[in-house]
Amino acid sequence: MAMNMFNTDPKNFVNKALELFRKKPEMINFLDVQNQLMDIKDIEDLIPPEVTGAETFSVECQTLDHPIPTNLIPNYKWNIWDLRREALLLANLSHCTTSSTQTEECAGLCPAKTQTYNLKEQGVQTKRDNGTNIPKPLQYLFGLRGRNDDKQMQLDLTETLEYNN
Protein backbone atom coordinates (compact mmCIF):
# COMPACT_ATOMS: atom_id res chain seq x y z
CA MET A 1 0.00 0.00 0.00
CA ALA A 2 2.83 2.41 0.85
CA MET A 3 4.53 1.53 -2.45
CA ASN A 4 1.37 2.35 -4.39
CA MET A 5 1.13 5.76 -2.70
CA PHE A 6 4.79 6.45 -3.51
CA ASN A 7 4.25 5.43 -7.16
CA THR A 8 1.38 7.92 -7.54
CA ASP A 9 3.62 10.97 -6.83
CA PRO A 10 7.28 10.07 -6.09
CA LYS A 11 8.60 13.62 -6.50
CA ASN A 12 6.29 14.90 -3.75
CA PHE A 13 7.49 12.24 -1.28
CA VAL A 14 11.18 12.94 -2.07
CA ASN A 15 10.60 16.67 -1.59
CA LYS A 16 8.87 16.00 1.76
CA ALA A 17 11.89 14.00 2.91
CA LEU A 18 14.30 16.75 1.82
CA GLU A 19 12.16 19.35 3.62
CA LEU A 20 12.38 17.18 6.73
CA PHE A 21 16.19 17.22 6.44
CA ARG A 22 16.10 21.02 6.34
CA LYS A 23 14.09 21.09 9.56
CA LYS A 24 16.18 18.41 11.33
CA PRO A 25 19.84 18.82 10.28
CA GLU A 26 21.08 16.03 12.57
CA MET A 27 19.57 13.47 10.15
CA ILE A 28 21.76 14.65 7.20
CA ASN A 29 24.94 12.89 8.40
CA PHE A 30 22.97 9.98 9.79
CA LEU A 31 21.44 9.14 6.38
CA ASP A 32 24.40 10.45 4.32
CA VAL A 33 22.42 12.80 2.02
CA GLN A 34 24.82 15.76 1.83
CA ASN A 35 25.15 15.56 -1.98
CA GLN A 36 21.40 15.59 -2.63
CA LEU A 37 20.93 18.59 -0.35
CA MET A 38 23.67 20.57 -2.10
CA ASP A 39 21.66 20.36 -5.32
CA ILE A 40 18.51 21.82 -3.76
CA LYS A 41 19.97 24.35 -1.32
CA ASP A 42 18.81 27.36 -3.40
CA ILE A 43 15.20 26.23 -3.84
CA GLU A 44 12.96 28.03 -1.32
CA ASP A 45 9.85 25.88 -1.36
CA LEU A 46 10.28 22.22 -2.20
CA ILE A 47 6.68 21.49 -1.40
CA PRO A 48 4.23 24.08 -2.69
CA PRO A 49 1.79 25.08 0.04
CA GLU A 50 -1.67 23.72 -0.40
CA VAL A 51 -4.19 26.46 -0.98
CA THR A 52 -7.49 25.61 0.54
CA GLY A 53 -10.38 27.97 0.75
CA ALA A 54 -11.44 28.62 4.28
CA GLU A 55 -14.99 27.54 4.84
CA THR A 56 -16.94 30.23 6.59
CA PHE A 57 -20.46 30.35 7.90
CA SER A 58 -22.28 32.66 10.27
CA VAL A 59 -24.07 31.54 13.38
CA GLU A 60 -26.06 33.71 15.73
CA CYS A 61 -26.94 32.99 19.31
CA GLN A 62 -28.62 35.29 21.76
CA THR A 63 -28.77 34.75 25.48
CA LEU A 64 -30.15 36.72 28.37
CA ASP A 65 -27.82 39.09 30.16
CA HIS A 66 -28.17 37.32 33.48
CA PRO A 67 -30.22 34.14 33.11
CA ILE A 68 -29.46 32.96 36.64
CA PRO A 69 -29.73 35.46 39.51
CA THR A 70 -26.52 35.71 41.48
CA ASN A 71 -26.61 35.12 45.20
CA LEU A 72 -23.21 36.57 45.99
CA ILE A 73 -22.81 38.50 49.21
CA PRO A 74 -20.15 41.15 48.58
CA ASN A 75 -19.16 41.47 52.26
CA TYR A 76 -18.96 37.72 52.95
CA LYS A 77 -15.70 36.62 54.52
CA TRP A 78 -14.91 32.95 54.97
CA ASN A 79 -11.43 33.43 56.39
CA ILE A 80 -11.30 33.84 60.16
CA TRP A 81 -8.26 36.10 59.84
CA ASP A 82 -10.23 38.51 57.66
CA LEU A 83 -12.95 38.61 60.31
CA ARG A 84 -10.36 39.18 63.04
CA ARG A 85 -8.67 41.94 61.01
CA GLU A 86 -12.01 43.70 60.49
CA ALA A 87 -12.89 43.41 64.19
CA LEU A 88 -9.53 44.91 65.19
CA LEU A 89 -10.01 47.71 62.68
CA LEU A 90 -13.45 48.56 64.08
CA ALA A 91 -12.15 48.35 67.66
CA ASN A 92 -9.29 50.70 66.80
CA LEU A 93 -11.68 53.03 65.01
CA SER A 94 -13.89 53.32 68.09
CA HIS A 95 -10.96 54.79 70.07
CA CYS A 96 -10.01 57.34 67.42
CA THR A 97 -10.99 60.96 67.82
CA THR A 98 -11.82 63.39 65.11
CA SER A 99 -11.08 67.08 64.98
CA SER A 100 -12.76 69.77 63.00
CA THR A 101 -10.77 71.35 60.20
CA GLN A 102 -13.12 74.21 59.41
CA THR A 103 -11.95 77.68 60.18
CA GLU A 104 -14.21 80.54 61.12
CA GLU A 105 -13.91 82.02 57.64
CA CYS A 106 -14.97 78.91 55.76
CA ALA A 107 -17.62 77.98 58.32
CA GLY A 108 -19.27 81.33 57.65
CA LEU A 109 -19.46 80.55 53.94
CA CYS A 110 -21.67 77.53 54.48
CA PRO A 111 -25.36 78.42 54.53
CA ALA A 112 -26.99 77.98 57.89
CA LYS A 113 -29.68 75.33 57.73
CA THR A 114 -32.73 76.35 59.70
CA GLN A 115 -36.18 74.95 59.79
CA THR A 116 -39.12 77.30 59.98
CA TYR A 117 -42.77 76.63 60.45
CA ASN A 118 -45.61 78.64 58.97
CA LEU A 119 -47.73 80.61 61.38
CA LYS A 120 -50.73 78.82 62.77
CA GLU A 121 -54.10 80.21 61.90
CA GLN A 122 -55.42 79.91 65.43
CA GLY A 123 -56.23 83.16 67.11
CA VAL A 124 -55.55 82.18 70.74
CA GLN A 125 -52.22 81.26 72.22
CA THR A 126 -51.56 80.64 75.87
CA LYS A 127 -48.46 81.69 77.71
CA ARG A 128 -48.38 78.57 79.79
CA ASP A 129 -44.95 76.96 80.17
CA ASN A 130 -45.10 73.18 80.09
CA GLY A 131 -41.46 72.62 81.02
CA THR A 132 -40.12 71.76 84.44
CA ASN A 133 -37.50 73.77 86.25
CA ILE A 134 -35.25 71.86 88.59
CA PRO A 135 -33.62 73.87 91.35
CA LYS A 136 -29.85 74.15 91.10
CA PRO A 137 -28.25 72.82 94.27
CA LEU A 138 -26.07 75.43 95.95
CA GLN A 139 -24.17 74.86 99.20
CA TYR A 140 -21.87 77.08 101.22
CA LEU A 141 -19.18 75.61 103.46
CA PHE A 142 -17.77 77.72 106.24
CA GLY A 143 -15.38 77.08 109.08
CA LEU A 144 -12.66 75.60 106.91
CA ARG A 145 -9.99 78.12 108.00
CA GLY A 146 -9.09 79.84 111.21
CA ARG A 147 -10.71 77.42 113.64
CA ASN A 148 -8.92 75.40 116.27
CA ASP A 149 -11.35 72.51 116.10
CA ASP A 150 -12.15 70.45 113.03
CA LYS A 151 -15.83 71.39 112.74
CA GLN A 152 -17.05 72.69 109.43
CA MET A 153 -20.50 74.00 108.76
CA GLN A 154 -22.55 73.49 105.63
CA LEU A 155 -25.33 75.86 104.67
CA ASP A 156 -27.86 74.88 102.01
CA LEU A 157 -28.63 77.85 99.70
CA THR A 158 -30.79 75.99 97.17
CA GLU A 159 -33.84 78.02 96.20
CA THR A 160 -37.20 76.32 96.29
CA LEU A 161 -39.41 76.81 93.26
CA GLU A 162 -43.11 77.39 93.58
CA TYR A 163 -45.36 75.81 91.01
CA ASN A 164 -48.51 77.59 89.92
CA ASN A 165 -51.04 75.18 88.51
What's the pTM value of the predicted model, to 2 decimals?
0.27
Of these ranges, 13-22, 29-38, 79-88, 123-132, the one predicted with the greatest mean pLDDT is: 79-88
Residue 165 has pLDDT above 60, yes or no: no
Report CA-CA distances (Å) from 110 to 76, 106, 117, 133. 40, 7, 22, 36
Give first-to-last CA distance, the chain, whole Å: 127
More confident position, 2 or 125: 2
Residue 159 has pLDDT above 80, yes or no: yes
The pLDDT of 138-149, averaged and rounded, is 85
Percentage of residues in the chain with pLDDT exceeding 70?
71
More confident position, 58 or 128: 58
More confident position, 131 or 138: 138
